[in-house]
Amino acid sequence: MTFLRELLAVILGVFISFFIMFFVLIAIGAAVGSSFGDTDQIEVKNNSVLVLKLEENIKDYAPKSSDPFDEIFNFGENAIGLNNIINAIENAKYDDNILGISIEVLQLNSGIAQTQAIRNKLLEFKESGKFIIAYADVYDQKNYYLSSVADSIYVNPAGGLDFKGLSGEVLFFKDFQDKYGVKMEVIRHGKYKSAVEPFLENKMSDANREQTTSFLNSIWGELVDDIAESRNLTGQEINHIADELLARTPSLAVKNKMITNQLYKDEYNEVINTLSDINENGKINAINLVDYISTGKGRASSSSKNRIAVIYAQGEIKYGKGDEKYIGQELIIKALKKARKSSNVKAIVLRVNSPGGSALASDIIWRELELTKKEKPLVVSMGNLAASGGYYIACNADRIVAEPTTITGSIGVFGAIPNMSELADRIGINAEQIGTNKQSIGYSVFEPINDSFYKVTKEGVEHVYTTFVDKVAAGRNMTFAEVDSIAQGRVWTGKEALENGLVDELGSLEDAIHIAADLADIDNYKVRNYPNYEKDFKEMFKGPFASVKASMLKDELGTENYRIYKSIKRFSELKGMQTRLPFLIEIK
C-alpha cells in the first residue's frame, strides 16, 4: 500500500512538472515571437484624431504585469493607469500629428475623482485650440460628465441620456443574520462609523443618512457646476433637467441644450472630417488611446537627473506584503526606503486611493512615512478614496491635496468577528472549551460573545481611536477636540475636508507633484513611479485560477448575488481592528 502511494506521488509529480514546463515553453515562445515576429509597429500618423474609449478599468497606477500568463492567456486585469491617460492627453496637446480628440466612451470604469481629473486635463487640452467632440449611443451620468467637456456632444438618434442626479444604495443584512443564525459581532467607535451598520440594523441610521446625503450633495454640486459651465447653462437649469428627466430622449436632450445634436455614427465621422479641415483628398487617421500610449506618449519626458517619487497606495489596507490590488505595509515600506536612499529623489508624493482596512498595517505605514518626511518633503495626493485607514496614512504629510470629489475622513475604528452560535444551536452542535487560565479560552465562533471579551475588545477599539485622533491632530496641527468633532467615522468629500482642515488644498496628482517640487526647490525633474510589483513563480500560478474562479462565481450567482457574496466575504476576512470606510455604499 505504501509502494502504491509513493508511485502515485511520483506520477503526480511528473505530471505537474510537465504541466509547468509546457506553460514555460509557451511563455518563452510568446516572448520570442513578440521580439522577432512580424508585428506591426504602431506610429502616430499625420492628421490623426485621438480616440478616447476608456473601456479598460482605470486605476491610478497600472504597470505592465510581470506574470507571463497574464499576457498569454489574458488572465490579467484589463486596466489602464490614470497617470498614463493624463500624460497622453498632455502630450497630445503639443503633438503636431494630433488634430483633436474624439470622446467615444460608452461605460466609464473609473471613480468620480478620477473622471474629474481626466476631464480637467481635457479642459487644459482645449487651450491648444484643438477640437474635442464626443459621441455615444447612450450616456449614463458619469460618461456624460466626462463628455460634457467637449465642444460638441452627439448621441445616436435611438439612444438617450440617463441624467437624474446621484443616489446611493446600501445593503443591510440584519434580518438575513437573524434568519440563518450567522452574524457579525461588532464593536466600534464613532456614531458615523457605518461600515458595520448593515450587520447591526435593517435600515439606515439618521447619522449615516446625514453623512451620505451631505457627501452625495457635495459631489453632485461639483458635477453640476462643471457641466453648467461647459454647456453654458446655470446650475438651476441643470438641476431642473435632472428633476424632470428632461434629457431622457435625444430630442429632449437637444432641446434642453444637454446634447448638440442626434446623429448616426457615420454622420458623426463626417463632422470629424469637417472639423479637421482636411481637403477631400486627405485622410483622417484615428488612433485609440491605448495605442497612443504604447508609442511612448503615456510618459512625461525629461532629461533631468532630479526625481519626484510617486508611491501608489491603492486598494484595501491589509497586513502583509501587498500587491497591485491591495496595500500591504511590506511593499510600501520597501518603496519608501528605496526613494529615501536615492540621491536623485528630491521629494516624495504618496498617492492614496484606499477605503482603509487594517489599523495595524496603517500604523506601520504611518511610522515609515514619519521617518521619510524627516529626510525629504512628503506630499499626499488623494484619489477617489482616502478614507479611514487611507486617511490614517495621509495625515502626517507636509501637504495634503485632494480632488473636490475625493471621499475622505471616516476617522473611526471597529472590530468585527463572525458568530454562528445560533446556527450551531439550531443544527445541534455544542462546543465545549477548556483552558488553563481565566482568559485563556477567549472567543469562540460557536458561543455568544461574553462580557469579558467584549470589554477587552472595546478597550482596544477605544485605544486605536484615540491613537488615530492623536496622530491626525499632530499632523494637522489641531487639538484632539477639534479632530474628534469632525471624526467619529464621519465621511467628507475633498471639498468639505478643505473647509474643516483635513486637507490643505484641492487639486490633482499633477498639482501634488508640482507642490512637492516647490518644497524640494527644484524646477526640472522626472517622475519615478513606485512600487515595483514583482511575483514569484508560485504567485504567477495563483492569478489565472483566481480569475477563473471569480468569473465562474459571477456567472453562477448573477451580478447582484455576486455583489452580496463579495460584501459578506470581505467582512469574514477581516482580521484585527479596522479603520475602514463604509464601502458597502454604491453611488449611482
**Domains plus CATH for the chain?**
48-163+245-297 (3.90.226.10), 307-542 (3.90.226.10)
Q: Cα angle vertex 499, ends 396, 208, to 5°?
A: 90
Euclidean distance between CA atoms 381 and 363, whole angstroms: 19
Euclidean distance between CA atoms 559 and 329, whole angstroms: 32
Euclidean distance between CA atoms 111 and 385, whole angstroms: 9
The torsion region of residue 260 among left (phi > 0), alpha (psi -120 to 50) and beta comes to alpha
β strands within 195-306, DSSP E: 261-262, 285-288
Find out whether 413 and 359 touch, Cβ atoms under 8 Å. Answer: yes
- What residues contact 119, with CB distance under 8 A and at least 6 apart? 145, 146, 148, 149, 226
How far is CA 444 from its chain centroid?
Answer: 35
Burial class (CB in 10 A: 0-12, 13-18, 19+), 83: buried
Under-70 pLDDT residues of the chain? 1-40, 65-77, 190-195, 277-282, 534-578, 580-588
Euclidean distance between CA atoms 283 and 351, whole angstroms: 41
Euclidean distance between CA atoms 457 and 415, whole angstroms: 8
Find out whether 458 and 222 touch, Cβ atoms under 8 Å. Answer: no
User: Mind giving me the DSSP string for 1-22?
Assistant: -HHHHHHHHHHHHHHHHHHHHH
Q: How many CA atoms lie within 13 A of 13 on its CB side?
A: 6
Euclidean distance between CA atoms 147 and 50, whole angstroms: 14
Q: Which residues of 459-494 are buried (b: 16+ CB within 10 A; e: fewer)?
A: ebbeebbebbbebbbebbebeeebbbebbbbbbbbb
What is the set of active-site residues?
A: 193, 388
Euclidean distance between CA atoms 135 and 156, whole angstroms: 8
The predicted pLDDT at position 172 comes to 85
Number of other CB atoms surrounding residue 246 within 10 Å: 17
According to DSSP, the residues that pair with 352 across neighbouring strands are 313, 382
Parallel/antiparallel/unpaired status of strands 378-387 and 399-402: parallel
- What residues contact 149, with CB distance under 8 A and at least 6 apart? 103, 119, 122, 123, 126, 132, 226, 230
* pLDDT tens sequence across 203-240: 888 888 888 899 999 999 999 999 999 999 999 999 99
The predicted pLDDT at position 326 comes to 92
Consecutive H or E run containing 414: strand 413-419
pTM, two decimal places:
0.84
379's grid cell: 506630499
The predicted pLDDT at position 561 comes to 57
Q: Tell whether omega for the bond before 418 is within 30 degrees of 0, i.e. cis.
A: no
Number of other CB atoms surrounding residue 220 within 10 Å: 20
- What residues contact 70, with CB distance under 8 A and at least 6 apart? 76, 543, 544
Indicate the residue type of 469: V
Euclidean distance between CA atoms 454 and 185, whole angstroms: 9
390's grid cell: 487611507
* pLDDT tens sequence across 467-503: 999 999 999 999 999 999 999 889 999 999 999 999 9
The predicted pLDDT at position 569 comes to 55
Q: How far apart, in Å, are the Cα atoms of 559 and each of 226, 550, 556?
A: 32, 11, 9
Helix (H, G, I), strand (E, B) or coil at 314: strand
